[in-house]
Amino acid sequence: MAESGDTQLYAPRQAIFPRSVKGRFRRLKWGVLALAYGVYFLLPWLRWERESGPDQAVLFDLVGRKFYIFDLVVYPQDIFWLAGLLMIFAYLLFFVTGIAGRVFCGYFCFQTLWTDVFLFIERLIQGERPARIRLSKQPMNAEKAVKLGLTHLLWLLVAFLTGLTFVLYWGNAPQLVAEFFTGQAPFAAYATTVFLTATTYVMAGIAREQVCTYMCPYARFQSVMFDRDTLIVSYDRARGEGSAGRAKLGRDLKTREQRQAAGVGDCIDCGYCVQVCPTGIDIRNGLQIQCISCALCIDACDTIMDSLGWERGLVGYSSQRVEDGGKRARLLRPKVLGYAAVLLVAVGLLVWSVGNQAPYDLAVSQVRQPLFTRLSDGRIENAYQLKVNNKTGHALGLTFSIEGLPDAELDMGRFRHIVLRPEQRLRLSARIKARPKVLDGRTYPVTIVATPDAGSGLPPVRHATVFYVPKG
């Protein structure tokens, strides 16, 4: 028990100097990193041919209220696609986390990816773990100033490129970069770049594992999705500790036979698994909230076991069930199947919806003030507001007509036939005039039809509405 005198209510961050490691998980993670960086940094520069609109493959045009994603153009009314996408991401996270634990944290989270890159830079300039520890402990001198300065400079450079690249998704990349460096870019571009440069530098360079441990909500709620069959990175305690605990490779404890005779486990207490951990924990203490499942400790231990000629897997993927003496983790369990089903349905619906995006659309709303007008020839008139939206990349001629109301006339003034420019939205007034047999105070269904010009190859679009007849 601590004395009240040395009780610390606030703990300073313990600097972590992760050692590098080689192995299959490290290779996989470098692969994921290369892919993610390739896509993120190069995508804004990819050009794309369109009938109309920008020639950038992915462009989120906020001013024009259109998102260009390759051959897909997303309009504000497609916002539910975003809802669908977010739902899919959520279920994907539940699904994957249920099966394999914090895979997202360990392999795909940008915090992990960017920290990896910043650590790589740190190692490049300051050297391996012992060199970095020595450098941090030595008093400030020219060598330390140059090495630290260079590290932070490179971090800032990567952070700046990260921020600038994010901005490029919201404008024409080559033009925006030229404007950016000549002081002509919009204020929002500078503000966003500065903000993201700052957050990237702070999060990946300075805060690092603090983000995962103290800030990130996903890190915490993923733990809730764990069950006894979820894969976790764990230390094989029975094998590592034996009956007399772990021990270093001492005299008389060199071979496995000697160790087993002495009751000592396979763990040679080299500490490699602790040194490589980016969150600074000892995996041999069991599953901990800080563990992001990056699996680097597995690589570390495998390296040692390989060099000793012992079998791998002292630290490896396992599950609570296996640790408790069960056999391998069950994969087909209700939770996993349920998430898989929901995921499939959500993906299916989104793909269907995106695939069936109408090339143009028509929305009709009835004017309700007044509901009807009596005309000089005794007919009844209802008025409507039409909104047409040409989503195609070319001019679209439309002719309007009505169906379902006998002897009714559609009056659209001079715009019975209009030609919409590419990607043009337009509001139009329409009025329907009819001579009802009886004035019964009821509404009658009527359909307004927009028919594209012959040769466009597009089908007509119909919008159902009602015609109100006053009580006589």
Partner 1 sequence: MADQSQHKAVQTTGHAWDGDLQEFNNPLPRWWLWTFYATVVFAIVYWILYPAWPVGKTFTKGLATTTFVDADGKEVTTHWNTRAEFIRDMQSGEEALKQKAYLEKVAGASYEEILNDPDMMAFTQSLAKVLFADNCAACHGLGGTPAEVGNFPNLRDDAWLWGGSIERIEQTIRKGRLGYMPSFGKVLSDEDIEALANYVLSLSGHDVDKGLMARGDSLFHSEQAGCYYCHTNSGKGLYSQGSANLTDQVWTVADVNGAPTLAEKIERVKSVIRNGVQRRMPAWEGRLSDEEIKLLTVYVHGLGGGQ
Is residue 195 close enough to count as binding partner 1 by CB under 8 A?
no
Nearest distance in Å: CB 418, partner 1: 6
CA distance 441 to 443: 7
Is residue 437 close enough to count as binding partner 1 by CB under 8 A?
no
CA distance 239 to 218: 33
Nearer to partner 1, 72 or 191 (CB): 191
The single-letter DSSP state of residue 250 is -
How many angstroms separate the first and last alpha carbons of the chain?
A: 92
Nearer to partner 1, 137 or 471 (CB): 471
Nearer to partner 1, 142 or 224 (CB): 224
CA distance 339 to 344: 8
- Out of 174, 326, 370, 460, the residue judged to bind partner 1 by CB under 8 A: 370
Nearest distance in Å: CB 90, partner 1: 27
Element (H, E) at 227: none
Contacts with partner 1 in 206-235 (CB under 8 A)?
A: 207, 210, 214
Is residue 4 close enough to count as binding partner 1 by CB under 8 A?
yes
Question: Under rule CB under 8 A, how many of the chain's residues touch partner 1?
Answer: 41
E-strand stretches of 225-375 = 231-235, 315-319, 360-366, 373-374
Only segment of 131-139, 357-365, 412-420, 460-468 that touches partner 1 (CB under 8 A): 412-420
- Out of 257, 376, 438, 457, the residue judged to bind partner 1 by CB under 8 A: 376
Contact between 200 and 227 under an 8 Å Cβ cutoff? The reply is no
Only segment of 5-13, 32-40, 78-86, 122-130 that touches partner 1 (CB under 8 A): 5-13
Nearer to partner 1, 254 or 368 (CB): 368
Tokens 């109309």 appear where?
52
For residue 449, report the phi and psi dihedrals to the nearest 5 degrees: -115, 130
Q: Return the sign of the alpha-carbon dihedral for residues 109, 115, 118, 120.
A: negative
Q: Which residues contact 289 (CB under 8 A, 6 or more apart)?
A: 213, 219, 220, 223
Contact between 320 and 298 under an 8 Å Cβ cutoff? The reply is no
- Out of 375, 440, 441, 442, the residue judged to bind partner 1 by CB under 8 A: 375
Contact between 162 and 114 under an 8 Å Cβ cutoff? The reply is yes
Is residue 324 close enough to count as binding partner 1 by CB under 8 A?
no
Only segment of 121-129, 148-156, 171-179, 283-291 that touches partner 1 (CB under 8 A): 283-291
Give residues in contact with partner 1 (CB under 8 A). 1-5, 7-13, 207, 210, 214, 285-288, 367-370, 373-378, 381, 383, 411, 413-415, 418, 426-429, 431
